[in-house]
Structure 1
Amino acid sequence: MTRILHVLDHSLPMHSGYTFRTRAILRAQMAQGWDVRGITGLRHGAKGPVEEVVDGLHFHRTPGHPATGNPLLREWRDIAAHADAIDSLIGHWRPDVIHAHSPVLNAMAAQRAAKRHDIPMIYEIRAFWEDAAVGNGTGTEGSPRYWLTRQLETHAVRAADAVAVICEGLRGDLVARGIDPAKIIVSPNGVDMEQFGTPVPRDPAMTTRLGLDGADVVGFIGSFYDYEGLDDLIAAMPRLVRARPRVKLLLVGGGPCEQALRDQATASPFADHIVFVGRVPHDEVEDYYAQVDVLAYPRKAMRLTDLVTPLKPLEAMAQGRLVAASNVGGHRELIEHGVTGTLFTPGDPAAIASALAEMFADRGFWDDRRATARAFVERERNWSSNILRYQPVYERLLAQRPAHVRAAA
């Protein structure tokens, strides 16, 4: 039985798009009959034992706490601690392949251990760390730290035996850096249709409690980061309400921009049409999807959103919801305008309002579009089939192991 060790930033029981993608990968690989475990670094903030099973998945933890002090020295110590933990786990579990996931610190830690034990390693990039830092407000494009992180990322990709990325945007960027296209596979974001592909009926009591009775409901369910463009969505509400007086905006989630968005909504002349729910348990998310007619994703135009595909629009399509999103590169890989969703100009509240108003004005296409979008997810973004993209890469890496390592396996 092939053993795959996934090297991770964090995992369940923490909830994020990162952990849900990890869960989907591990569950699908276990269904293939592979022996799968994960090991997280010091940035995994959930309390718990150094080895635990969560939702049927086996995780190991790097012991200790993140270092403090100078950022470069701190990250170097974190890499060393993570590498030591990976090395220890390899000593008694003996994986056949190491599958490291971004950020690049994980790849650097995994490469140390992989080299020491002659184990092949694939590095999977979900977003470039330097661009993610710009997106969440902790970095600046073009700064010395941005440049250094980009160099580390390129070095890690060159050192890996194989590379996986979640979308064509990231693949194209690596190829432009001189990386051999044959070394890269695309393993796109997907949905576990067995777990998330059966929409639940709308709960009338919840509809009333949220003040949505008789409303045209626009919704956003996710994290409140600046790059998500929720300020533009709130700014679109006056125009949208004038065109569709029954419209309500339902915002589910939280994050760094939450208070600023609440303040913006309070100052809006149509504050009573904007409903903040806050964070909700993951097992209740489907109940909120059921309350929404159109899920809106108004991401701002920047490197991060042009290169990286989000997961949430796919979840909305799987739930049979209509999708409207800004016309940025990451959305264009998922949404065909007028076929599986509606695209509007990013950063333009008037364009957002116009696109949403037009969707509510003509419900005649809704059933066909929802069915088409769901079929797209089932056919091309279903984890049960997406996971097969890794298999030939694993097989090739295993075949390339040194003879003495193959003999000992």
Structure 2
Amino acid sequence: MTISDLRIALFSGNYNYTRDGANQALNRLVGSVLAKGAKVRVYSPKVANPDFPPTGELVGLPNVPMPVKGRGEYRLPTGLGADVKRDLEAFRPDIIHVSSPDPSGHAALKWAQQHDIPVLASVHTRFETYPRYYNMAFLEPLVIKLLKRFYNRCDALVAPSQSMIDELLAMEMHQDIGLWTRGVDRTIFSSARRDPEWRRAIGLAETDVAIVFLGRLVMEKGLDVFAETIVRLRARGVAHKVLVIGDGPARGWFEANLPEGIFTGFKTGDALGQALASGDIFFNPSVTETFGNVTLEAMASGLPVVAAGATGSASLVTDGVTGRLVVPTNKQADANAFAEALAPYCLDPALRAAHGAAGETRACEYSWEAINAVVADIYVRLVEERRRLRAA
């Protein structure tokens, strides 16, 4: 059996209506297996004006606005519904891939079990950490319990970093966990994209040291720690500027707490590559990522990285070689530690250049084609295993 023999049903809570690292990876995966001859059908909420066209055929899931303050741009899939179930019956998938433990993901898992179809789940974010950013940290143990129940009902998992696999194993989420890391588009992300004229146009002189934030502007990305770190860095008298690339519901809060920051708004494609490479240091305090696409993109752009030593960045950044890792403890201690890690890069151009170049070399190892082939192989293995069980 090869991947070309398979019919794959993919369930996503956000496949293309709002751009993020997870759905970029899913769209690349679908494009890869379609190119190999597989049949794919994607089930996800649809909106009138999505951020980008979907790769593959997209079937809408019933959904409602996300019932969390500040996340109104996201949709919560509420199940399958009769129309989706009929569509699944007609498609006759060999395997189901669920990418989010939302109500539709649960319903798809139940449908697969009823029809004796294997299920692969991909882990894209640290859902259990989200409550702490909305003053509901007491819910974290409950979220872990619910995630554990969901993932252990699947046949296998894939996660984007070895550090995340280790976390999942430690939490007993599953025993069969494959590594589906992430690639980087070197036609977009490269140190060659640095543009002094673009820097001058936004108020950055060539001698300015720009600390970059890239990502969706939501609190769980560590915006509070980022802002507090900048306060500590300024208190040390370390000259720098802040460049924020991205947009989101917390932009107003971030602008208010970074009054001298330069905000470019949302960018993609060549414009994103230009903006990122035109920075000097990448700072990622987030602990919610399972991989950290933005960290890899910054490395590919020739920037040294200062990041939280948590899942994701910990598998990408080599401490003292391509950047610095700070083990997270609490907001105040983290801000001090991050400021201490950032200061040498602000003050030493040779150090920035050396660690940035080392990061760019490391980023060249991440090829999308080889990475997606791993998932295709897992699809084939799970289907073959299920057919042997049926035959037995």
Q: Which interval holds the TM-score relative to the shorter structure?
A: 0.7 to 0.9
Find 1:20's aligned residue among 20, 24, 29: 24
Find 2:149's aligned residue among 144, 150, 155: 155
Alpha-carbon offset, residue 116 of structure 1: 3.4
SS in 1 for 2:147: helix
SS in 2 for 1:66: strand
Q: Is 1:294 aligned to residue 292 of structure 2?
A: no
RMSD in angstroms over aligned alpha carbons?
Answer: 3.2
> What is the aligned partner in structure 2 of residue 250 from structure 1?
243
SS in 1 for 2:320: coil
Q: Is 1:61 aligned to residue 64 of structure 2?
A: no
Q: Is 1:164 aligned to residue 164 of structure 2?
A: no
C-alpha separation in 2, matches of 1:194 and 1:28: 17
CA contact (8 A) 1:218 1:296 kept: yes
If the length of structure 2 is used for normalisation, what is the TM-score? 0.82
Shift in CA distance, 384/378, structure 1 to aligned 2, threshold 3 Å = farther
Find 1:175's aligned residue among 169, 180, 205: 169
SS in 2 for 1:54: coil
How many residue pairs get aligned? The number is 372
Alpha-carbon offset, residue 209 of structure 1: 2.3
SS in 1 for 2:296: helix
CA contact (8 A) 2:183 2:371 kept: no
**Which amino acid is the alignment partner of residue 343 of structure 2?**
A
Q: Is 1:387 aligned to residue 372 of structure 2?
A: yes
**Which amino acid is the alignment partner of residue 202 of structure 1?**
R
Alpha-carbon offset, residue 78 of structure 1: 5.1
Alpha-carbon offset, residue 275 of structure 1: 1.5
Structure 1: state its 5+ residue gaps: 70-76
C-alpha separation in 2, matches of 1:68 and 1:286: 31
Q: Is 1:261 aligned to residue 254 of structure 2?
A: yes
Alpha-carbon offset, residue 324 of structure 1: 1.4
Find 1:234's aligned residue among 222, 227, 238: 227
**Which amino acid is the alignment partner of residue 230 of structure 1?**
L
SS in 2 for 1:390: helix
CA contact (8 A) 1:24 1:191 kept: no
CA contact (8 A) 1:196 1:318 kept: no
Shift in CA distance, 299/152, structure 1 to aligned 2, threshold 3 Å = closer
Structure 2: state its 5+ residue gaps: 68-75
Find 2:13's aligned residue among 4, 9, 15: 9
CA contact (8 A) 2:158 2:180 kept: yes
Find 2:214's aligned residue among 201, 221, 230: 221
Find 2:115's aligned residue among 114, 117, 129: 117
> What is the aligned partner in structure 2 of residue 212 from structure 1?
204
Counterpart mapping for 1:56-205 below 5 A: 56-62=55-61, 64-66=62-64, 79-80=78-79, 82=80, 84-132=82-130, 134-137=131-134, 140-143=136-139, 146-178=140-172, 181=175, 183-188=176-181, 190-193=182-185, 196-199=188-191, 201-205=193-197
1:47-103 deviation per Cα after TM superposition (whole angstroms, max 9, x unaligned): 169xxx9254332212x442999xxxxxxx9543x2645422322322221111113
If the length of structure 1 is used for normalisation, what is the TM-score? 0.79
Percent of counterpart pairs with the same letter?
22
Shift in CA distance, 243/345, structure 1 to aligned 2, threshold 3 Å = farther
**Which amino acid is the alignment partner of residue 16 of structure 1?**
D
Shift in CA distance, 94/206, structure 1 to aligned 2, threshold 3 Å = same
